Amino acid sequence: MDYILAKKMILPVKSSDIFGSTHMMNMYRGCDHGCIYCDSRSECYQGGRPEGDFSLVHAKKDALKLIESELQFRRKANAAEMVIGTGSMSDPYNSFEKDLELTRGALLLFDKYKCGVGVITKSALVSRDVGLYAQIQTHSPVNVGITITTTDSVLCQKIEPGVSGAAERFKAIRALAGAGIFTGVHMNPVLPYLTDTEENVCSIVENAAANHAKYVFCYGFGMTLRQGNREYYYENSDNLFPGLKEKYVKAFGQKYVCTSENAKELSLVFKDECEKYGLLHRAKDINAAWKKEKPKQKNLLEFESFESFES
Ligand code: SF4
């Protein structure tokens, strides 16, 4: 772990964000969760950076000071409500966050300056901050999305060696939901020939419902591969799943979007399963719902018990 300089921490979202965040932020650059399919490894994101190995985590120096001054400026400008998204380019709950508490520090500032937050993570450490998310949700929208691509622990260990196990992540969803926080599962990517089975989709949806998620979202039954992440994926999957690379080359060539051959069937199963359990699954419904979620002030003291979830 090392520090890098950052000029600005909170950036406006240029195109309309699928989940309605107005701004985005990354407390870290790089991620040590080691997912073999990680799109953030793509050369278009790494080009020209001295610290080219994406697995090395860099924290941003003076990140919290910068965030505070940027939020102070926004408040002086009497700007409209901010909803800050994090987790698209690196996991805000990487292994260093437990001690550094930079993401937690940012959440404290979001609460102070009355900003909403949308987070995506693959770590159960997120449940450490249940009390804070609940506090923010008393005044602003909160959406905690936990990515779960498979419930098969052996497969998970191969494709996502650094993340919390699926059972731990479902437990985190239960803790968040128990505190009244808007939370759900992001079921992407869906890896052709590995996780694109009806059994896997049904298992994820069933577990999401059992742990009181509000939604399961899947933006497509496939994955993306491009320069940088394609090579990494093939290099790693070659050892783990002999013959897989050849199947991909034959099916997708140099395509960026690699859609499962089961996509049509899986999307129908997914829709039926979500509706069977009363889970939201369309982006527009999820987006509308989390912005409307009612604050839950009266239980704040109870949330203290979730703070020790990880310890
Ligand atoms: S958790 Fe996200 S950012 Fe980190 S390696 Fe996995 S896919 Fe990449």
Distance CA 57, CA 1 (A): 5
Split at pLDDT 50, 70, 90, the class of 153 is: very high
- 90 Cα nearest atom in ligand 1: 3
pLDDT of 310: 28
pLDDT of 17: 62
Distance CA 190, CA 269 (A): 14
pLDDT reading at 297 higher than 80? no
pLDDT reading at 278 higher than 70? yes
Helix axes 244-252, 229-240, angle to 10 degrees: 140
Q: Are 197 and 43 in contact (CB under 8 A)?
A: no
pLDDT of 306: 33
pLDDT reading at 21 higher than 70? yes
Q: How many residues does the chain have?
A: 311
pLDDT of 46: 63
pLDDT of 78: 62
Q: What is the mean pLDDT of the chain?
A: 90
For strands 83-86 and 116-121, give the pairing.
parallel
pTM: 0.91
76 compared with 265, residue with greater pLDDT: 265
Report the pocket of ligand 1 as residue ranges, CB < 6 Å. 31, 33-35, 38, 40, 90-91, 122
Mean pLDDT of 54-77: 90
Q: Atom 7 in ligand 1: which residue has the minimum CA distance?
A: 38
CATH numbers and ranges of domains, the chain: 2-292 (3.80.30.30)
- 40 Cα nearest atom in ligand 1: 8
pLDDT reading at 307 higher than 70? no
By most ligand atoms within 8 Å of CB, the mutation choice from 26, 46, 91, 93 for ligand 1 is 91
Split at pLDDT 50, 70, 90, the class of 295 is: low
pLDDT of 300: 39
pLDDT of 95: 96
- Percent above pLDDT 70 for the chain: 90
pLDDT reading at 302 higher than 50? no
For strands 58-60 and 28-29, give the pairing.
antiparallel
